[in-house]
């Protein structure tokens, strides 16, 4: 087992402090605090030196940090059912990440080490607490590389001028990192006032000290979009921690560019960086060997999961990604919806992020990756950098209420307390009415049966699919090609290739997510035909 070097504690006496329970929903630890913003989500305020604020974070929401690891491990076990193969993967990932700490600033290592004290003993057989949490910060990158993560994609935009109601910048994005519904159920808004650099706010999950969506006190907002990557051979700086570094240390787009330029990464990513003072947005497109910046005079920038800058525009790998993935479809759909909806407001932006249809409003089944809303988003987020406001979605997905936070108040208040008014309730965006419909209930039932079918043919957990349940599954999501592809996989595993072919034929009449998915269906169909012919 490879063990990473333990960073020093600048204040070991903090280990003797205890959190205080102000109420059932509010906790304090020194000047840091945590409070529930609703039934599931937390607001965590941190200040001080790296180890101290990391330790405070872990103690304030220790139970949530441990629960989040439970959900993460549970999802890994579903994806990799073999205990022996999971052990092999752990050894391989440990070897892959053997030098991970060498690419992460000491400040972040100390902070993450502080959080690790809140980790459960239950998984110490897998690795030490510090090793585990550091590896989790690279999980987005590893999953992105090993699973060709571009097939599940975030979509974002930045608009201003004629595209927005008052001409100021409006930025919106969906973060489609999916590790199961349980993993995304509880979210954390972190308000960070570090001892060095700028204060910032980020939105993610318990235990994440990196950032995937956030804005700092200088009006710099940052979001990330994965791009297709070659398989790396060794880890470098995790994308979430590089995003965090931009938030903490960039006051301009040029400073953001310089930060990204000076770091080595092991996957390809786009950083959408918007600046209130410059009134502009850029896309920093970073690959392990190349980097470029996309900037336009247009008042609208859209980002999905392919590159747009000159350095990558004609790159064969990027072109293949555009041809074979759903990235270009979501890009075009975002463009279409913005053209229909402008001038944009935060409410309209939320509606766009929640949109379930495909191009030209075609209904392509619930959960299709060609839709902006695939019902897998960890969160949706909206920024108004010039007004220092942000909206974050609550569960489920980006369909729950969007809460508006007043960053001007947050950053101008010298000592922020849990009683400080930091939300603008009059600007909250109500939950989408769709989640109150029978269609949404049906979709959730469809997901349940789909998971049971998957566990049968992939994990070997037998599921009895009755004729009534089969028709019910189809009725819940009849326009989704995934419905028929899932049934085909199930029947193929049972040796009924004729029925599998019948379902694959139906799947081919539906809107597939991409050319790559179409090829997968056709390949599976050919395998079934060959099996039938062989009999």
> Which of 436, 453, 487 corresponds to the end of one domain?
436
Q: Is residue 7 part of a domain?
A: no
| The token pair that represents 437 in the structure block | 């419909």
User: What is the pLDDT at residue 1?
Assistant: 42
User: What is the pLDDT at residue 170?
Assistant: 98
CATH number of the domain bearing residue 500: 1.25.40
Q: Is residue 30 part of a domain?
A: yes
Q: Is residue 385 part of a domain?
A: yes
- d(CA 514, CA 324) in angstroms, rounded, equals 6
Q: 491 and 412 in one domain?
A: no
Query: Tokens 């508006």 correspond to what residue?
Result: 404
Q: 486 and 376 in one domain?
A: no
> Which of 401, 436, 471 corresponds to the end of one domain?
436
Q: 319 and 221 in one domain?
A: yes
Q: 225 and 130 in one domain?
A: yes
Q: 333 and 426 in one domain?
A: yes
Overall residue count recorded for the chain in this entry: 535
Binned average pLDDT, 10 residues per bin, the chain of 535 residues: 69 92 96 94 96 97 95 77 62 68 92 96 88 84 56 83 97 89 91 97 96 97 88 81 98 98 93 98 95 96 95 90 93 97 96 97 96 95 98 96 97 91 97 97 96 89 94 98 97 96 98 94 95 81
- d(CA 121, CA 68) in angstroms, rounded, equals 14
- d(CA 383, CA 342) in angstroms, rounded, equals 16
User: What is the pLDDT at residue 125?
Assistant: 83
- d(CA 322, CA 316) in angstroms, rounded, equals 10
Q: Is residue 290 part of a domain?
A: yes
User: What is the pLDDT at residue 517?
Assistant: 93
Q: 307 and 283 in one domain?
A: yes
Q: 313 and 262 in one domain?
A: yes
| The token pair that represents 129 in the structure block | 């607490």
Q: 458 and 332 in one domain?
A: no
- State phi, psi for 533 to the nearest 5 degrees: -65, -35
> Which of 436, 453, 478 corresponds to the end of one domain?
436
Q: Please say whether the beta carbons of 170 and 161 come within 8 A.
A: no
CATH number of the domain bearing residue 31: 3.60.60.30
Q: Please name the helix (run of DSSP H) or strand (run of DSSP E) that holds residue 71, with its range, or none.
A: helix 62-79
Q: 474 and 367 in one domain?
A: no
Q: Is residue 484 part of a domain?
A: yes
- d(CA 440, CA 476) in angstroms, rounded, equals 9
Q: 503 and 397 in one domain?
A: no
- Total domain count, the chain: 2
- d(CA 331, CA 397) in angstroms, rounded, equals 20
In this prediction the pTM is 0.93
Q: Is residue 16 part of a domain?
A: no
Q: 455 and 432 in one domain?
A: no
Q: Is residue 401 part of a domain?
A: yes
- d(CA 461, CA 331) in angstroms, rounded, equals 38
What's the helix, strand, coil split of the chain in %, to 5?
45, 20, 35
Q: By residue range, what is the domain housing residue 363?
A: 22-436
| The token pair that represents 60 in the structure block | 């304030």
At 180 the three-state DSSP class reads coil
Q: Is residue 528 part of a domain?
A: yes
Q: 426 and 468 in one domain?
A: no
- d(CA 503, CA 16) in angstroms, rounded, equals 62
């Amino acid at each position: 087992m490879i063990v990473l070097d333990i960073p020093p504690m600048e204040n070991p006496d903090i280990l003797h402090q205890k959190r205080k329970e102000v109420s059932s929903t509010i906790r304090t630890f020194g000047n840091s605090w945590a409070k529930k913003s609703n039934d599931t989500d937390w607001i965590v305020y941190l200040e001080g030196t790296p180890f101290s604020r990391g330790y405070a974070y872990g103690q304030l929401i220790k139970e949530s940090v441990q629960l989040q690891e439970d959900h993460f491990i549970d999802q890994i076990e579903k994806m990799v059912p073999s205990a022996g193969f999971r052990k092999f993967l752990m050894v391989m990932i440990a070897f892959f990440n053997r030098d991970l700490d060498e690419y992460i600033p000491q400040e972040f290592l100390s902070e993450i080490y502080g959080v690790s004290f809140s980790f459960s003993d239950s998984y110490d057989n897998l690795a030490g607490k510090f090793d585990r949490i550091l590896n989790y910060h690279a999980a987005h990158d590893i999953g992105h590389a090993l699973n060709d993560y571009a097939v599940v994609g975030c979509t974002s935009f930045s608009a201003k001028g004629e595209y927005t109601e008052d001409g100021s910048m409006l930025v919106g994005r969906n973060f489609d990192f999916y590790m199961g519904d349980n993993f995304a159920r509880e979210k954390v808004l972190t308000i960070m006032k570090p001892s060095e650099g700028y204060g910032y706010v980020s939105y993610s999950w318990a235990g994440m000290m990196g950032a995937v969506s956030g804005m700092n006190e200088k009006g710099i907002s940052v979001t990330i979009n994965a791009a297709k990557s070659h398989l790396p051979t060794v880890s470098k700086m995790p994308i979430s921690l590089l995003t965090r570094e931009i938030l903490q240390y960039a006051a301009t787009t040029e400073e953001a560019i310089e930060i990204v330029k000076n770091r080595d990464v092991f996957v390809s990513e786009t950083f959408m960086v918007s600046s209130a003072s410059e009134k502009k947005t850029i896309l920093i497109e970073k690959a392990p060997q190349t980097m470029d910046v996309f900037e336009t005079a247009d008042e609208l920038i859209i980002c999905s999961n392919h590159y747009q800058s000159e350095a990558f525009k004609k790159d064969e790998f990027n072109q293949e990604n555009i041809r074979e993935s759903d990235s270009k479809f979501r890009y075009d759909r975002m463009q279409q919806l913005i053209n229909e909806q402008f001038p944009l407001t935060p409410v309209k932006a939320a509606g766009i992020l929640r949109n379930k249809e495909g191009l030209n409003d075609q209904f392509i089944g619930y959960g299709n990756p060609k839709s902006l809303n695939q019902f897998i988003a960890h969160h949706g987020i909206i920024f108004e950098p010039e007004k220092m406001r942000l909206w974050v979605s609550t569960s489920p997905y980006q369909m729950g209420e969007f809460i508006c936070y007043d960053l001007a108040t947050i950053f101008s208040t010298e000592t922020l307390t849990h009683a400080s008014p930091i939300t603008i309730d009059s600007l909250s965006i109500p939950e989408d009415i769709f989640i109150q419909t029978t269609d949404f209930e049906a979709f959730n039932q469809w997901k349940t049966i789909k998971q049971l079918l998957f566990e049968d043919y992939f994990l070997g957990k037998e599921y009895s699919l009755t004729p009534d349940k089969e028709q019910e599954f189809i009725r819940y999501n009849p326009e989704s090609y995934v419905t028929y592809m899932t049934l085909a996989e199930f029947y193929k595993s049972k040796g009924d290739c004729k029925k599998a072919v019948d379902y694959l034929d139906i799947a081919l009449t539906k809107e597939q997510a991409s050319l790559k998915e179409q090829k997968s269906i056709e390949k599976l169909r050919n395998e079934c035909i060959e099996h039938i012919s062989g009999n």
